[in-house]
Structure 1
Amino acid sequence: MDRLTMMRSFVRVVDSGSFVSAAGRLNIPKSTITRHIQALEHELGVKLLNRTSRTLNLTEQGRIYYQGTLRLLESLDILDSNVQMSAMQPRGKIRVEIPNALAYCLVIPALPDFLARYPDIQIEVSVGNRTVNLIEQNIDCVIRIGELYNDSLIARSLGELAQVTCASRQYIERAGLPVHPADLALGHTLVQIVSPRTGQMVVNELYRDGQTERVSAQWQFAVNDSMGARTAALNGLGVVTTYRFLVEEYLSNGQMVELFPDWHNTPIPIHIAWPENRQLPSKVRIFIEWARSVFNAGE
């Protein structure tokens, strides 16, 4: 039996979590998948999977073999992709993870141009800003907001996101217009943002002429998503400090009001990153360069 076929079946079983799902994705009978795994375990002389009627888990040897198999199959895919590139446009699937706000408001709206230029590429987007093992999750690259703390990633800067402190007009009419950041502590309410990665309350500061003021007040509503925070602020739940691109439209049409315009927020860095031990296929390199052009165009 072809070893590569058995290895691809093994990886698909692990990734999908069941023999039935793997068979469906490969469009072959479940019994064929079972034979592939049994034959592979027989040739290796080790047990790769612990299987019950309800659970499927890798053995210690299975985990080692899975990581090695991923790297081998990835190298083969890169070889195939590079050979194909010499004669045709890049093709295949790219798996990308992007934070909600960037996905919905910047990247996905720009994708029609990319996909029109590369009709043989598929983009599978996972929306989120999680701390994940990219190799284990089989993700090609990620866009991250904030500082990167993972030394196993290679990163390229996509620039910075400007921030703004603002509130809806209906909130201002109800609570009054604060003219100094210190006024927020006098009866105003924040829409509190919680970091989706750390679970900690995000603390923002404003700067002017060597002065620093914390954006501080009571809060009744907290959320770990910037799109959710924008929606809350738009509906009058409080003052929010968020990415300017998320609220620019509402600041322009008067639905929201920028507070303390003579003070400055700290811009937030953004990066695109990928595992350091992963050789990039041409399709992923093309996507990375395209993403950099999208963010540079927005500066």
Structure 2
Amino acid sequence: MDQLSAMRVFVRVVETGNFTRAATALDMPKTTVTNMVQGLEAHLSTTLLNRTTRRVMVTTDGALYYERALQILSEIDELDGSMSHSQAGPSGRLRVEMAGAFADLIVIPNLCDFYMSYPRIQLDIGVGDRLVDYIAENVDCALRGGTPTDQSLVARKVGELKMRTFASPLYLERHGAPTHPNDLTEGHLAVGYLNAAAGRVLSMEFCRGDEVIEISPRYAISVNDARSYVNAIISGIGVGQAASFMVKDAVARGELVEILPDWECEVLPLYIVYPQTRHLSNKVRVFVDWLAKRVQALKEPEQGKARWEAAE
């Protein structure tokens, strides 16, 4: 029996909760996964898992073995990673989740630069703002906007995005341009952003000097995807707040204009998050460092060129 491989299989079964998901994550036949765990139990002369038709439960011995195995595997991965980093460089598949706007506007346009530096890393990018089961789906890390609230995740801040308030010319022709944030609570509509982690539509925050205003205007539609959010603002159905890099092309085409320019919006922090049980391997570390540089390189568009001026 290859005890190290069996140990890795056992850890994945515990983390995913059953043999089927573990087999999928490991890209192995389910029978192989089952046989390897049974072989490990025979070698240790103890029962690590109690099986039922619906789920797998860890025994007391299994829980103790899992904790020690996780520590040992992390140390082995760190050792292997340090050797590969010093010689051939980081390698392997890297599964990353991020919102579509981040993928389209930050990561994918610069991927050739990343691949030239790290040709042995194969990126699998999942696009969307959904909740992710990092262990069951074998996700290494995710790029997320906003401060993480999940205490089971480790978070590293990679940058900040300045937010501004925008509307389409069509919307402004129909509803007029607000002159104060409080105007948005009467006679105006917003596009709501539905935060999957919070389970609610996010409010809008404005500040000018020491004055801070937080409002929740009536929204005509809410979405949980950044690209759909911007497209809804362009359609003229409501106003919204977005990072400037996300709307710069729409602004250049005249599809969006900035409103309430004297009021600053809340800064959106960007974080790379990964589960505490996952070792931060060299391939993840170099991707995080590279991504932080890409975020910091984002340039703000020149101010004052795309603000609404009502026709006389």
Contact 2:98 2:129 in 1 (8 A): yes
For 1:12-31, what aligned pairs fall within 5 Å after superposition?
Answer: 12-13=12-13, 15=16, 17-19=18-20, 22=23, 25-26=26-27, 30-31=30-31
Q: Does 1:111 align with 2:100?
A: no
Residue 245 (structure 2) aligns with: 245
Contact 1:23 1:33 in 2 (8 A): no
Residue 289 (structure 2) aligns with: 289
For the residue of structure 1 that corresponds to 2:237, the secondary structure is coil
Residue 58 (structure 1) aligns with: 57
Contact 2:146 2:268 in 1 (8 A): yes
**Cα drift, residue 131 of structure 1:** 7.0
- Counterparts of 1:69 and 1:155, CA distance in 2: 24
- Counterparts of 1:94 and 1:275, CA distance in 2: 14
Contact 1:160 1:267 in 2 (8 A): yes
User: Which sits farther off after the overlay, 123-132 or 178-187?
Assistant: 123-132
- Counterparts of 1:254 and 1:235, CA distance in 2: 12
**Unaligned ranges ≥5, structure 1:** none
For the residue of structure 2 that corresponds to 1:255, the secondary structure is coil
Residue 166 (structure 1) aligns with: 166
Instruction: Deviation per CA, 1:69-100: give whole Å up to 9, x if none.
Output: 34323322332222233332221223333344
Contact 1:158 1:272 in 2 (8 A): yes
Instruction: Deviation per CA, 1:2-23: give whole Å up to 9, x if none.
Output: 2123223334555494359728
For the residue of structure 1 that corresponds to 2:232, the secondary structure is helix
User: Which sits farther off after the overlay, 199-208 or 214-223?
Assistant: 214-223
Q: Does 1:298 align with 2:279?
A: no
For 1:118-129, what aligned pairs fall within 5 Å after superposition?
Answer: 118-127=118-127
**C-alpha distance 101-47 of structure 1, shift in aligned 2 (>3 A):** farther
For the residue of structure 1 that corresponds to 2:10, the secondary structure is helix
- Counterparts of 1:154 and 1:20, CA distance in 2: 23
User: Which sits farther off after the overlay, 127-136 or 108-117?
Assistant: 127-136
For 1:1-299, what aligned pairs fall within 5 Å after superposition?
Answer: 1-13=1-13, 15=16, 17-19=18-20, 22=23, 25-26=26-27, 30-52=30-52, 55-61=54-60, 62-127=62-127, 139-149=139-149, 155-274=155-274, 280-299=280-299
**C-alpha distance 65-99 of structure 1, shift in aligned 2 (>3 A):** farther
**C-alpha distance 155-197 of structure 1, shift in aligned 2 (>3 A):** closer
Identity, in percent, stands at: 38
**Cα drift, residue 169 of structure 1:** 1.8
- Counterparts of 2:10 and 2:23, CA distance in 1: 9
**Unaligned ranges ≥5, structure 2:** 300-312
Q: What residue identity is the alignment partner of 1:146?
A: G
**C-alpha distance 174-283 of structure 1, shift in aligned 2 (>3 A):** same
Contact 2:21 2:136 in 1 (8 A): no
Instruction: Deviation per CA, 1:247-286: give whole Å up to 9, x if none.
Output: 1211121101211112211212223345667653332222
- Counterparts of 1:129 and 1:248, CA distance in 2: 21
**C-alpha distance 43-113 of structure 1, shift in aligned 2 (>3 A):** same
- Counterparts of 2:160 and 2:222, CA distance in 1: 24
**Cα drift, residue 26 of structure 1:** 4.9
The alignment's C-alpha RMSD in Å is 3.2
**Cα drift, residue 182 of structure 1:** 3.0
**C-alpha distance 20-205 of structure 1, shift in aligned 2 (>3 A):** closer
- Counterparts of 1:79 and 1:17, CA distance in 2: 29
**Cα drift, residue 191 of structure 1:** 1.0
Q: What residue identity is the alignment partner of 1:116?
A: M
**Cα drift, residue 63 of structure 1:** 4.6
- Counterparts of 1:168 and 1:296, CA distance in 2: 28
**C-alpha distance 9-205 of structure 1, shift in aligned 2 (>3 A):** closer
TM value normalised by structure 1? 0.82
For the residue of structure 1 that corresponds to 2:200, the secondary structure is coil
TM value normalised by structure 2? 0.79
